[in-house]
């Protein structure tokens, strides 16, 4: 299957560099380029890419607002933030907006390609610096979070643990020997009970609670 990618970055050199490298990948097709967030929103509507590689600081509309608007209309769209900023003021709003992954521009080209593929599969992909900032943010004044785990069933805890490992619904279904539809139901229940917005937040929450070690 070919992964259709839209590149959104206000720097021509960055777009050209990404396009040049991604074109060498047999399973990836760059279907369009956007110079700002508004163009990205408009092109998603017309081109319907699988993954949007999104810069954050852009004219007309920034990447966070563009991410939010895209997710509102296409809630299954995968958006990978690719930026130079790793501080909480950028990271937290981007994840809350619905970004599936957050990587820094110093990433190696091969790692970027692997990240695009992983995001396309539904896995959460965060740069280590970003994970540290998010964990710090979640740890502030969230004592109630530990108690919320008691609201999950044994099976939901198992699914949450698998989400933290970056597995897709299909992979979780195979691992737990249940149907993919059942996994989707469990994921929905988990997000609702833990008051989380998406799989990325669920994965970070699970890592914080140590569920990956069970």
Q: What percent of the chain has pLDDT over 90?
A: 54
For 99-132, what is each residue's pLDDT tens digit? Answer: 988 999 988 889 999 999 999 988 877 776 666 6
For 131-167, what is each residue's pLDDT tens digit? Answer: 665 655 555 545 444 457 788 899 999 999 888 877 8
Q: What is the side-by-side order of every strand in the sheet holding 78-83?
A: 28-34, 3-8, 51-54, 78-83, 101-104, 125-126
Mean pLDDT of the chain: 86
Domains and their CATH numbers in the chain = 3-127 (3.40.50.2300), 141-213 (1.10.10.10)
**pLDDT value of position 123:** 81
Q: Which residues contact 159 (CB under 8 A, 6 or more apart)?
A: 172, 176, 183, 186, 187, 190
* One-character DSSP codes across 35-80: SSHHHHHHHHHHH--SEEEE-SS-SSS-HHHHHHHHHHH-TT-EEE
Is 0.75 topped by the overall pTM?
no
Q: Give the Cα separation of 63 and 8 in Å (integer).
A: 8
Closest by Cα among 76, 105, 89 to 7: 105
Q: For residue 30, what is the enclosing H or E element?
A: strand 28-34
For 41-66, what is each residue's pLDDT tens digit? Answer: 999 999 999 999 999 999 999 999 99
- Match 């590149």 to its residue by tokens: 7
**pLDDT value of position 79:** 96
Helices and strands, number each (H, E), in the chain = 11, 6
Q: For residue 204, what is the enclosing H or E element?
A: helix 199-208
Q: What percent of the chain has pLDDT over 70?
A: 89
* Mean pLDDT, residues 12-37 taken together: 95
- Is the separation of the CB atoms in 136 and 204 below 8 Å? no
Greater pLDDT, 145 or 75: 75
* Residue 2 DSSP code: P
Q: Give the Cα separation of 169 and 25 in Å (integer).
A: 25
């Amino acid at each position: 299957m070919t992964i259709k990618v839209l590149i959104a970055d206000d720097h021509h050199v960055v777009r050209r560099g990404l396009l040049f490298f991604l074109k060498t990948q047999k399973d990836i097709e760059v279907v369009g380029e956007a110079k700002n967030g508004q163009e990205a929103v408009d092109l998603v509507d017309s081109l319907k890419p699988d993954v949007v590689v999104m810069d954050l600081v852009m004219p007309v509309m920034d990447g966070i607002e563009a991410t939010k608007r895209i997710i509102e209309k296409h809630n299954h769209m995968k958006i990978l933030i690719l930026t130079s900023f790793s501080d909480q003021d950028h990271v937290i709003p981007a994840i809350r907006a619905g970004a599936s992954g957050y990587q820094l521009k110093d990433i190696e080209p091969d790692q970027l390609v692997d990240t695009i593929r992983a995001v396309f599969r539904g896995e959460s992909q965060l740069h280590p610096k970003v994970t540290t900032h998010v964990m710090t943010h979640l740890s502030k004044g969230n004592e109630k979070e530990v108690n919320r785990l008691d609201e999950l069933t044994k099976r939901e805890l198992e699914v949450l643990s698998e989400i933290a490992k970056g597995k897709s619904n299909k992979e979780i279904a195979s691992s737990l020997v249940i149907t993919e539809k059942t996994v989707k139901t469990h994921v929905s229940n988990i997000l609702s009970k833990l008051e989380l917005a998406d799989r990325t937040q669920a994965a970070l929450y699970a890592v914080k609670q140590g569920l990956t070690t069970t």
